[in-house]
Amino acid sequence: MNSPADIQQRFAGFPFGALATPEEIEQAEARLGHELPAALKAHYLAYDGFTGPAGERFFNSLAQMLATTLWLRGEQGFPEFLQQAVAVGELDDGPFWLILIGDPDRVVEWDAEMADEDRVSLETSLADTWLERKRRYDEITG
């Protein structure tokens, strides 16, 4: 459950990017200096990002993930934990959805206006985070 194919089915009608190639993933990993978690790679091999119900970047394309992650890691004054995080999604112009390299089965939500201690651990996987956000959106729009 919550495999890349399952996510594509549950978000049918939303824009998905074409799949990323293994070579593109390897190049991104080389720039990051570490491997991506296996589940994240599986999603990239199925689709290169997708947009959620309100036009939010639920899953950053590989290029966007790389650019945002490197920016977060290079910005002075940002929390140290970002050195071990990958920016997998963004909500509007607000919080980032992050995966911590040492804990890839849990999403962290963090906004640049928050202090380090204000990061929010969502205690769910990335796929479960997407599905929960979609459920809330569907409740509002009825």
| 16 DSSP assignment | B
Mean pLDDT for all residues in the chain: 90
- When pLDDT is cut at 50, 70 and 90, the band that residue 89 belongs to is very high
Does 60 score more than 90 pLDDT?
yes
Q: Tokens for 51? A: 């947009």
Does 124 score more than 90 pLDDT?
no
- Whether residue 141 is contained in a domain is answered as no
- Whether residue 16 is contained in a domain is answered as yes
- Whether residue 131 is contained in a domain is answered as yes
Q: By the 8 A CB rule, do 110 and 120 touch?
A: yes
Does 92 score more than 90 pLDDT?
no
Task: Give the model's pLDDT for residue 29.
Answer: 98
Task: Give the model's pLDDT for residue 1.
Answer: 54
Does 117 score more than 70 pLDDT?
no
Residues 23-42, mean pLDDT to the nearest whole number: 96
* CA-based nearest residue to 49, from 62, 67, 31: 62
Helix (H, G, I), strand (E, B) or coil at 32: helix
Task: Give the model's pLDDT for residue 7.
Answer: 94
DSSP states of 40-104: HHHHHHH-S-EE-TTS-EEE--HHHHHHHHHHHHHSTTS-GGGGGEEEEEE-TTSPEEEEETTEE
Does 33 score more than 60 pLDDT?
yes
* CA-based nearest residue to 66, from 47, 79, 49: 49
* CA end-to-end distance (rounded Å), the chain: 25
| CA geometry: angle 78, 79, 85, nearest 5 deg | 105
Q: Can you give the residue range of the structural domain that contains 39?
A: 4-136
Domain count, the chain: 1
- Whether residue 142 is contained in a domain is answered as no
Percent of the chain with pLDDT over 90: 58
120 against 125, higher pLDDT: 125
- Whether residue 118 is contained in a domain is answered as yes
Q: By the 8 A CB rule, do 86 and 99 touch?
A: yes
- Whether residue 54 is contained in a domain is answered as yes
**CATH code (residue 47):** 3.40.1580.10
Does 38 score more than 70 pLDDT?
yes
31 against 115, higher pLDDT: 31
Q: By the 8 A CB rule, do 84 and 99 touch?
A: no
33 against 55, higher pLDDT: 33
